[in-house]
Amino acid sequence: MGEVVACGLIAHVPTVMLPLEIRHELNNGQDFSVVDGFNRLRSEVLSNLGHDLVIVFDSHWFTTVEFVISGHAHRSGKFTSDELPRGMSQVPYDFPGDPAFAKAAAANGRKHGTWLTAIDDPCLPIHYATVNPLKYLQRGKEAWVSVSCCQTAESEDFLRVGRALRETIAGLDRRVVLLASGAMSHKFWPLQKLREHEAAGIEHIFSPAHSAADLERIEWMKQGDHARILRTMPEFLRFKPEANFGHYLMMAAALGEEDFTAPGRLFSAYENAIGTGQVHVWFDRPKEGWNARRHAAE
């Protein structure tokens, strides 16, 4: 029997890969809190978990006719972003994968009414929603596996993938960390205005309505009220969450959907990235199990 030992909604924002002096230049002489948050996550949390598998729900990996899970035994190389090559250029990566887990997850996908394919093609691209967290959070021995966000998927499709992964984790001997790698609201400023809004302050989020929607859900996460987030997804989709919030939905479904009641703790401030809402929210496994509060209420 495997288990999820911790999980989190994390910001992979490209600024975390910039040199400190450039980050200070963009943010009025101060660093972005998501950088320190990554460092704290590694030293205060991940170093003590004893996990052997990290699953990244990669909100920058868009597939079209199916979800894909990376099935490589090992991945290594250098990553340059086609989107932001000045900020992310020739970033080295080197990590083991978990082909057995990927194949089992793909098999469970059909059982849960979705299409999830394991691909181990050595030429399969990697994306910075995986590479950026890897740089900060990799311990060196654990396997890393990425799951795509299908761009034709709706909320129910993301939940089905999470259910398939939940069954897969339960059936295999793995200690798993889940990383929902992506933003909250994800509306960029137009190019002619963008450079006026590169600092972290909440006043630079695209609109007060976008930041209000994000902050409301962050409060629900802190309370462990994931059921409310799931119920109000149609409302939140109006604010264009990154990848239709598929990264969060797959994570939540892997932990029981409405039965996922673990409270979150912030490892960063809620910050702007050229209009989008960024935050690290971490969920520790309760001693009594992920669904302890719900079961106690019953």
Position 298 scores a pLDDT of 46
- CATH for 192: 3.40.830.10
Q: Model confidence over 179-219: pLDDT tens digits?
A: 999 999 999 999 999 999 999 999 999 999 999 999 999 99
Tell me whether residue 250 is exposed, middle or buried, using C-beta atoms within 10 angstroms of its C-beta: 0 to 12, 13 to 18, 19 or more. buried
Q: Hunting for tokens 């962050």 — which residue is that?
A: 218
First to last CA, the chain: 25
Domain count, the chain: 1
Q: How many Cα atoms within 13 Å fall on the side-chain side of residue 293?
A: 15
pLDDT at residue 27 is higher than 60? yes
Least confident of 91-105, 119-133, 218-232, 279-293: 279-293
> To the nearest whole number, what is the mean pLDDT of the chain?
96
Domain that holds residue 220: 3-297
Confidence of residue 288 (pLDDT cuts 50, 70, 90): confident
Q: What percent of the chain has pLDDT over 70?
A: 98
CB 66, CB 115: distance < 8 Å: yes
Q: Model confidence over 110-130: pLDDT tens digits?
A: 999 999 999 999 999 999 999
Confidence of residue 1 (pLDDT cuts 50, 70, 90): confident
